[in-house]
Homo-oligomer: A and B are copies of this chain.
Amino acid sequence: MVDKLISHINGICLLTGDEIEIVKELVREKDVPRKHFVHRAGEIAQYSAFVLEGCLRSYIIDQNGFEHVLQFAPENWWISDMYSFVKQTSSELNIDALLDSKVLILSRDCQLRIFDRIPKLERYFRILTENALASSNHRTLDYLSLPAKVRYQKFCDLYPTLINTLPQKQIASFIGITPEFLSKLRGERN
């Protein structure tokens, strides 16, 4: 199963046989059944997770007890609380599985140490982070400038797979509206 990560890395920068071995030793495989947590608010994020199967999500719970989804992570995505993972401070995010999932976990410690041994991996993560930032910026702009209906349409275009596998209320939460309002939008002709 680790091969899935290796080929993801190879898609960005080619690893030698030795380097592949090192990577294999650093990550640990883990099953995450639906509704089980990978990380909880209040803790420091020690790990980043690469999704082999299934789908995870990160979200906060606000003062009124409502959940707000920051990220979905289907197959081949990394997920963590970036803020806590990078600054090693207490986290506000929860990360759990929306479907029965299988992940690889990598600790921040290992990650930083590996950057010195395999600079290619620093490049790999630099590129992933750049892409994530670019997407995040896009999402912010959509938020600032588009009404909910258009944000929903864009979500459907961008993540057609998720539309069919995830409950609508999760998607409503991601685009920043209530499930009731999303249901209403969907009910409207065209």
A112 vs B134: C-alpha distance when bound (angstroms): 17
Partner of A129, one of B60, B115, B130, B135: B130
Nearest to A132 among chain B residues (CB) is B133
- Give a binary string over A48-72; 1 marks a CB under 8 Å from any B CB, 0 the rest: 0000000000001010001011100
A135 vs B119: C-alpha distance when bound (angstroms): 25
Partner of A92, one of B68, B70, B123, B141: B141
- Give a binary string over A129-150; 1 marks a CB under 8 Å from any B CB, 0 the rest: 1111111111111011110000
For chain A, give the interface size range: 35 or more
Partner of A176, one of B62, B86, B133, B144: B144
Partner of A70, one of B68, B69, B135, B140: B140
A134 vs B89: C-alpha distance when bound (angstroms): 12
CB interface residues, A 86-145, toward B, < 8 Å: 86-87, 92, 115, 119, 122-123, 125-126, 129-141, 143-145
- Give a binary string over A18-34; 1 marks a CB under 8 Å from any B CB, 0 the rest: 00000000000000000
A115: which B residues are within 8 A, CB to CB? Answer: 123
Q: Is the CB of B70 within 8 A of A131?
A: no
Q: Is the CB of B62 within 8 A of A134?
A: no
* Known contacts A119-B122, A125-B126, A137-B136; A86 and B131 CB within 8 A of each other: yes
* Known contacts A122-B123, A123-B122; A140 and B136 CB within 8 A of each other: yes
| Chain A positions near chain B (C-beta within 8 angstroms) | 60, 62, 66, 68-70, 82-83, 86-87, 92, 115, 119, 122-123, 125-126, 129-141, 143-146, 173, 176
